[in-house]
Amino acid sequence: MTWGEIGQLMSGTGVLITSVCAGVTVTIISLYQKRKQWVDDFRALYAEFWNDKDISQVRRWIVSNKLYAEVLKPILAHLPPYTFFSAKW
């Protein structure tokens, strides 16, 4: 193997490693942004839930053990069981 061939091999290997690193970096950034968006949406929905005056009765049902057992538990008992496979993606 000549020095020219070794140089080409090293150059090709360098380009390959750089491409893999760039791909991994882009994937990690994309996943981070997707997760951040989900967290931001959840926080906005959570804040809206606790600030909405029309939902105050529902909040009482969730917080109070007595009201939960009287009101929500019977309603939830009539719902079909939720599983990962029954979810509509």
Q: What is the pLDDT of residues 27-75, one digit of tens each?
A: 999 999 999 998 999 999 888 888 878 788 888 888 889 988 888 888 8
Q: What total of structural domains would you count in the chain?
A: 1
Q: What is the mean pLDDT of residues 8-18?
A: 86
Residue-level pLDDT at 85: 65
Q: Is residue 32 part of a domain?
A: no
* Parent domain of 63: 53-78
Q: Is residue 3 part of a domain?
A: no
Let me know how long the chain is. 89
Q: Is residue 47 part of a domain?
A: no
Q: Is residue 46 part of a domain?
A: no
Q: Please, where are the H alpha helices in 1-89?
A: 3-51, 56-63, 65-67, 73-77
Q: Which residue has the tokens 């390959």?
A: 16
> Token pair of 66, please?
């007595």
Q: Which residue has the tokens 């926080």?
A: 43
